[in-house]
Amino acid sequence: MGDEKMDRKDRALYEEINRQAAKLSQKWFDTRQKKDGSIYSNDVNESIEKQLKEQHLFTIQTIASGFLPEQELFHENVYQWTKEVVKTRLEWDTPIYEVVAAVNKTRNLIWTFITEYAMEKEEITKKDVLRWSAVYHPILDTLISEFSTQYYRLTRSRLKGQEKLIEEIDSPIIPVSSSIAILPLIGMMDESRAASLFELIPVKCAEKRIVHLVMDLSGIHDIDTFVANQLFQLTKSLQLIGVQTVLSGIRPEVAQTAIQLGLDFSQVKTFHGLPQALAYLGFGQ
């Protein structure tokens, strides 16, 4: 009997929060202040404002569902809430601390409502309020935890995608025929970039089934002894997997560095420019 009574009170609280959800949400929006660059600013554009209002209403409904004896709806709501909020906060480039602050603001708002509701209802006892408190705060902690976890995962996934794109841009293998490709090296070549090339280029050549690779150095601004040695080792590594490397656009200072190092490029064909290197490989004939 006692459990049924508690369930009835919990369900009544759930229904009352839902009934007052629009007013509660509006109160949250009315207390916003101006924050430059924040989606939670009181002067945010109409499109974001509309989505925020829809999501905040759902936030309140999700919190309310946590008081139901059956937890299926709550878990379903948390999943949907996390999916929607993470997606938009990533799109809007919202810092995670702003989202947590917004949720905590909602936490305080709804708890104030619950305590006022309890005071107005004679049948609600102190035990009920303590029990609701024990339920309520884990509900909000669950929202913050789920959001933070998914936000982190998707952010990491995006970063990895960006890193891969940067690698593709930084060391692009450009096929010009079924077996010939160009590797144009442009800009500064430091130790980190040279080491990255040494790891990535053989793999890319194998994936694309490249037989001849023209490594064009005409866009390299500067090169030190370590980098020159790494490029030399790269040609040797490619040779081991059956890729013939030819060099084009070698500047005099790069050639001098190689000679000073004692690097033997005699087994690697070198050309003044890219057209000559491609002609040597029979491209266009």
Q: What is the pLDDT of residue 221?
A: 67
Say what the pLDDT of residue 178 is: 86
CB crowding 105-117: b at 16 or more within 10 Å, else e: ebbebbbebbeeb
If asked whether residues 55 and 106 sit together in one domain, one would say yes
The domain boundary residue, chosen from 138, 164, 190? 164
**Together in a domain, 49 and 72:** yes
Residues in the chain: 285
136, 164, 192 — which closes off a domain?
164
This prediction's pTM: 0.61
In a domain, 285, yes or no: no
Pairing between strand 269-271 and 180-187? unpaired
Q: What is the CATH number of the domain that holds 107?
A: 1.10.490
Report the relative pairing of strands 180-187 and 244-248 from DSSP bridges: unpaired
Query: 147 with 21, same domain?
Result: yes
Q: What is the pLDDT of residue 243?
A: 92
Torsion of CA 54, 60, 66, 69, to 10 degrees: -90
Per-residue pLDDT of the chain (285 residues; tens, 9 = 90+): 457 888 899 999 999 999 999 999 999 999 999 988 899 999 999 999 999 999 999 999 999 999 998 999 999 999 999 999 999 999 999 999 999 999 999 999 999 999 999 999 989 999 999 999 999 999 999 999 999 999 988 888 777 666 565 555 556 788 888 889 998 887 777 777 788 888 888 988 998 899 999 988 887 766 777 777 788 888 889 999 999 999 888 777 767 777 777 766 667 888 888 888 888 888 765
d(CA 10, CA 16): 10
Whether residue 33 is contained in a domain is answered as yes
Q: What is the DSSP string of 86-128?
A: HHHHHHTT--HHHHHHHHHHHHHHHHHHHHHHHHH-TT--HHH
Examine the domain organization and report whether 157 and 90 are in the same domain: yes
Structural domain total, the chain: 2
The answer to the question of residue 48 being in a domain is yes
67 plus 117 within the same structural domain: yes
Structural domain that includes position 113: 2-164
Q: Which residues pair with residue 183 across a beta bridge?
A: 215
Q: Between vectors from CA 145 to CA 144 and to CA 147, what angle results, nearest 5°?
A: 65
Shared domain for 257 and 146, answered yes or no, is: no
pLDDT score recorded for residue 283: 73
- Give residue 198's pLDDT: 84
Does 205 lie in the same domain as 102? no
